[in-house]
Structure 1
Amino acid sequence: MRKVVLPAPLIPVQRRVISSATAPTVVPRRRVVRCGLSITGIGLCAVFYCLTYTPSLLPRSWFLQGVVAGLTASFGYAGGTAIGAVVRLRWWPSRRVERIAWRVLFVLVPPLILLFLWLGARWQRDLRVRLGMPPQQEYDLIRTVGISLITFGALLLLARCLRLAAHGFARLFGRLVPESAAYCAGFVVVTLLSYTAFDGILVSKVFSSADRSAAITDSGTGNGVVQPASALRSGSRSSLITWDSLGRQGRNFVTKAPSVDRLSAFTGRAAEDPVRIYAGLSSADTVEDRAALVVREMDRTHAWDRAVIAVFTPTGTGWVDNDVPSSLEYMYGGNTALVSMQYSYLPSWISFAVDRTKVVDAASALIGAVRERWAAMPATHRPKLLIFGESLGTYGTEKTFGTAEAMVEGADGILLEGPMFANPIHRRLTADRAPGSPVWDPVYPRLPVEFSSESHELRDLTGLPRKVVYMQNSSDPVVWWSPSLLWHKPDWLKGQRGPDVTPDMHWYPVITFWQTTVDLLFANKAPVGHGHVYKSGAVDGWAALAPPPGWTVADTLRLRALLSG
């Protein structure tokens, strides 16, 4: 008999169900220093890196180009990362989309960078030829790339460390407040600490170090500079102004006048010993006292009996380019009295950023004191009054007069070299220029004012004599730099370019502003007639404003060759 096996009864099995409420929460660890790179950050970083090799106003050395490229790439990476973070607030790409994006970058970025490296080398070569500078070595490009990678890597590491610090503070605050508020607080704390460290430690140290260094430099004396024996110079034994109080630039100014023999050899007739007067920062307590001291020194030296009196508003350190006063002395055979006064011992860019009122106060005090005495003299017996300003000195001169009409009426001639973007009169004259005239060489027919982008243009002036001459090289970043370069294409990059500006230069938001800012740092290293270097070009300026009787273009060329030799 077959045995029948009955199925076992179904016994319900109890399963342990763990509710989500009792499940342990797994918090993913946030990687900060070793986290992956941002796709949008790398994309914009590559664009910025390539654009930094596009030409600017002045050529750069391999080291400077590398640092600029690394900094610019880091700006692009920061901006791209921020854009990516904003995009992820509304749409988070899938892994597949991210992989495709990375592959596209890997395909496009390397050849793009190689292309711009090749173009950048060619643009730099052409720019150097345009400015008459020697070409770079072939291997400089490799060194440039290396410096740029080191700069970018260092900045990226610094940014990751700051981000790690923000996360650390967020974890600390997370014990007291919700996560979103904790991370916000961590970001704010790190931002404030970073700003405090940058502004309170780095910036203040830089300015204080620059201040101490400039003070030490100002107390020194250049090689070959000795106390003048002539009683017609400030700092001499007969002077009302002591030698020690002149400062370094003042001592240079009073001792570098050409000798009577050299003046006579140039003019072909007997020359006079020129008068040079200078007041340093420690010559008197206030700008008014220093200006009054200069006038008393002019009385002592009988400066008012000379054919020409010229007032020089120096740059921030008190420096006056010696080619400018010397050119006047050669033109007039030493029958001149040249005066200047120091208002700072810091470079112009620091003086402008920290306290630009100093140059205005000094220029107003000195020009006002000299003009007051000069205007009181009979018009038929008083000397020519000429005024000169360079760089920050042009700003002080313009602010002293207030309007272009006042400048025309206020002196027999005013020569301004390398005016700044902040100059109010220069801005108005340029904005109101004749239609069709370029911004780098504007025409203003309503007043006897002349602009010159190349000094030799001043030799062809016709019509009424000019009373004010602006000399502004088309490659001078001091003239063309402006905060508006961040977002606005400037007029000097529209239409016909200035003679120094390469047609390969174009405007890019942020990039052009940054490149022109870098150009400012080395504007004084360019060859004569380019960048912020004018030197013997002042001969053409003075010849256009106040030529001595019988002066010819041949004399201008002869004097320029002498000063440049």
Structure 2
Amino acid sequence: MRRLVVTAPPRPWIPGQRRAPGRAPVPLPPRRRVLRCGLSVTGFGLCAVFYCLSYTPSLLPRPWSLQGVVAGLTAAIGYAFGTSIGALVRLRWWPSRRAERIAWQALFLLVPPLILLFLWLGTRWQRDLRLRLGMPPQQEYDLIRTVGISVLTFGVLLLVARCLRLAAHGLARLFGRLVPESAAYCAGFVVVTVLSYTAFDGLLIGNLYTTADRSAAVTDSGTGRGVERQMSPLRSGSPASLVSWESLGRQGRNFVAKAPSHEQLASFAHRPVMEPIRLYAGLSSADSVTERAGLIVREMERTGAFDREVIAVFTPTGTGWVDNDVPSSLEYMYAGDTALVSMQYSYLPSWISFLADRAKVVEASSALITAVQERWAATPAADRPKLLIFGESLGTYGTEKTFGTAERMVDGADGILLEGPTFANPIHRRLTEARAEGTPVWDPSYAALPVEFSSRAEELRDLAGPRRKVVYMQNSSDPVVWWNPNLLWKKPQWLSGTRGPDVTPAMHWYPVITFWQTTVDAVFANKVPTGHGHVYRSGAVDGWAALAPPPGWTVGDTIRLRAVLDAR
């Protein structure tokens, strides 16, 4: 009797199935593949590597909470790279279950001791870095909290990624009814990517920018603790001033109110002193940048600023903030015979202004410096005061763009002091690239012009040769100076050869990771002691002494004044 064999037709392929080359498709539940599937072996491997490398030192020490977030984010980046590599490999070769099992066993044997090793090394590196920068060490139990935050951060990011993957698979199943499976997956990926970017850029970034703008506007309308309206006619915002107290903004009120008192100046100078002039224009002081600059010049004429020994123009940071140690150091040095002016161009933090609209600082810096220069040049040469210019962080960018070339900077004022220049500064970049052979990038030498670079303020006390006209102060551990998009794929020069005094020998360059670590350092660069990171403060005394010291000024006076400023 003949046996009748009935065979079922081949099951058609549907999205979500795994297809190995030369094999029949193996059906897998699409939904389970997205949310309940295990981790990718290549993703987990590279995730572990990135997680360990996140504990390697960078320019500045990190608090335990920040280290936890950095480690979690870095691990997520590694997992994304690993899964992408695994997907590309599977296009050519699909590993057997046995090979995958062996890979997982190897990872389970290697990863735990590797992570424990780097946790121990990371704790030691952070302790050494804190000692190098004069900061107190962290507690040992902070490591446990760091690991907890890193795991939580990674888990949240993985959940978000799985949800996006679920959306892409769902769209692929939908499109698969109309187009071939490869086109369906491509379309699903593109749609999810576009929608995610739109949501991120339009909803998250846009709302964050709007919220930051509103929050900064509210902050700008307030007044700092202990700051009161000045009654002296030599200050903007006083009853005699052309600028109202309300229009100065928070940082403008701080600027005009925090000058040293007559008693403080007299105690340091041991000679007759004058009341300093401090003038400022806020965003609401006039309708346009040009009008605000003109208002400052009229204020200078009203207060007799051009009869003082020194005039100084300060380009502030994004919020309009000027580090009070910088103007105060000039006032102490010249016994109050000074007129200091500044003008606000934004109330957003510098990093937001730098990313969103650098044109504002250029426009404001150019308007104010040009207006003051023209009025200063109209004064008879024998009666002109010294003209000094200062910029910090984003303010250095505006100052450089105002002059355009190093030669114009040298000729444009009696002295220009720039602290913490950014990677985008065109003049700083050209001078650094043309530095004398053999000098490091963090402390270059440029003999063609009277321009000086300093990685430590104390270096400026022993300068030989003609007096400098431009001084760049750039701490070797300042991430604002050394951050650059090129860190993603290129080893920086400041990590090659002889390193700056603050840069630990344990720091090395890793693609993507060093860029990410330096970015985090830049956000928190003001949380370190003076002379490190992006904190210059009393170091400005050495800068002014190198550019335009008063008659009879000595290194001993510099040390004494820095002690006075540091004690405040």
Q: Check whether TM > 0.5.
A: yes
1:14 deviation in Å?
4.3
SS at match of 2:4: coil
Match in the other structure for 1:172: 174
Match in the other structure for 1:474: 476
Alignment of 1:332-351 (within 5 A): 332-351=334-353
**Alignment deviations for residues 124-154 of structure 1 (CA, whole Å, 9 cap, x no partner):** 0000000000000011111111111111111
Alignment of 1:1-80 (within 5 A): 12-18=1-7, 20=9, 27-30=27-30, 31-80=33-82
Match in the other structure for 2:205: 203
Match in the other structure for 2:18: none
1:191 deviation in Å?
1.3
Match in the other structure for 1:412: 414
1:166 deviation in Å?
1.3
CA distance in structure 2 between the partners assigned to 1:350 and 1:18 by the alignment? 67
CA distance in structure 2 between the partners assigned to 1:22 and 1:449 by the alignment? 77
AA of the residue aligned to 1:75: I
| Residue among 408, 415, 425 paired with 1:423 | 425
Match in the other structure for 1:9: none
CA distance in structure 1 between the partners assigned to 2:148 and 2:35 by the alignment? 23
| Residue among 504, 509, 523 paired with 2:525 | 523
Moved more, 18-27 or 489-498: 18-27
CA distance in structure 1 between the partners assigned to 2:12 and 2:73 by the alignment? 48
1:174 deviation in Å?
2.2
AA of the residue aligned to 1:78: A
1:536 deviation in Å?
0.4
CA distance in structure 2 between the partners assigned to 1:430 and 1:412 by the alignment? 22
Moved more, 176-185 or 386-395: 176-185
AA of the residue aligned to 1:145: V
Match in the other structure for 2:216: 214
CA distance in structure 2 between the partners assigned to 1:420 and 1:264 by the alignment? 37
SS at match of 2:452: strand
Matched, 1:227 2:229: yes
Matched, 1:441 2:430: no
1:180 deviation in Å?
2.3
**Alignment deviations for residues 192-222 of structure 1 (CA, whole Å, 9 cap, x no partner):** 2211111111111110010000000000001
CA distance in structure 2 between the partners assigned to 1:463 and 1:14 by the alignment? 108
Alignment of 1:265-344 (within 5 A): 265-344=267-346
Match in the other structure for 2:148: 146
CA distance in structure 1 between the partners assigned to 2:391 and 2:11 by the alignment? 80
AA of the residue aligned to 1:208: T
1:27 deviation in Å?
4.5
CA distance in structure 1 between the partners assigned to 2:29 and 2:142 by the alignment? 44
SS at match of 2:383: coil
Q: 1:172 to 1:22 in 2, by over 3 A?
A: closer
CA distance in structure 2 between the partners assigned to 1:514 and 1:24 by the alignment? 42
CA distance in structure 1 between the partners assigned to 2:483 and 2:192 by the alignment? 33
CA distance in structure 2 between the partners assigned to 1:131 and 1:404 by the alignment? 32
AA of the residue aligned to 1:434: A
Alignment of 1:248-267 (within 5 A): 248-267=250-269
**Alignment deviations for residues 402-429 of structure 1 (CA, whole Å, 9 cap, x no partner):** 0111000000000000000000000011
Q: 1:24 to 1:558 in 2, by over 3 A?
A: closer
AA of the residue aligned to 1:58: L
Q: 1:24 to 1:314 in 2, by over 3 A?
A: closer
Q: 1:20 to 1:366 in 2, by over 3 A?
A: same
1:17 deviation in Å?
3.3
Alignment of 1:101-112 (within 5 A): 101-112=103-114
CA distance in structure 2 between the partners assigned to 1:104 and 1:482 by the alignment? 37
1:177 deviation in Å?
2.1
**Alignment deviations for residues 13-50 of structure 1 (CA, whole Å, 9 cap, x no partner):** 24143363699999531221011211110111011001
Moved more, 194-203 or 275-284: 194-203
CA distance in structure 2 between the partners assigned to 1:410 and 1:306 by the alignment? 19
1:235 deviation in Å?
0.3
| Residue among 451, 458, 464 paired with 1:462 | 464
SS at match of 1:539: helix
1:226 deviation in Å?
1.0
Match in the other structure for 1:240: 242
Unaligned runs of 5+ in 1: 1-11
CA distance in structure 2 between the partners assigned to 1:167 and 1:465 by the alignment? 68
SS at match of 1:380: helix
CA distance in structure 2 between the partners assigned to 1:267 and 1:27 by the alignment? 86
Alignment of 1:110-125 (within 5 A): 110-125=112-127
Match in the other structure for 1:8: none
AA of the residue aligned to 1:131: L
**Alignment deviations for residues 425-455 of structure 1 (CA, whole Å, 9 cap, x no partner):** 0001100000111111100011100011000
SS at match of 1:388: strand
CA distance in structure 2 between the partners assigned to 1:16 and 1:137 by the alignment? 74
Q: Identity rate of aligned residues, in percent?
A: 77
1:269 deviation in Å?
1.1
Structure number with larger C-alpha Rg: 1
Taking only aligned residues, the RMSD between alpha carbons, in angstroms, comes to 1.3
TM-score (norm 2): 0.96
**Alignment deviations for residues 261-306 of structure 1 (CA, whole Å, 9 cap, x no partner):** 2111110111001100000000011100000000000000010000
AA of the residue aligned to 1:15: L
SS at match of 1:96: helix
CA distance in structure 1 between the partners assigned to 2:488 and 2:38 by the alignment? 30
CA distance in structure 1 between the partners assigned to 2:148 and 2:95 by the alignment? 34
1:175 deviation in Å?
2.4
AA of the residue aligned to 1:28: L
Unaligned runs of 5+ in 2: 15-25
**Alignment deviations for residues 229-284 of structure 1 (CA, whole Å, 9 cap, x no partner):** 10000000000011110000000000101111211111011100110000000001
| Residue among 341, 355, 363 paired with 2:357 | 355
CA distance in structure 2 between the partners assigned to 1:185 and 1:479 by the alignment? 42
CA distance in structure 2 between the partners assigned to 1:457 and 1:112 by the alignment? 42
CA distance in structure 2 between the partners assigned to 1:22 and 1:300 by the alignment? 91
TM-score (norm 1): 0.96
**Alignment deviations for residues 506-536 of structure 1 (CA, whole Å, 9 cap, x no partner):** 1111110000000011001111110000000
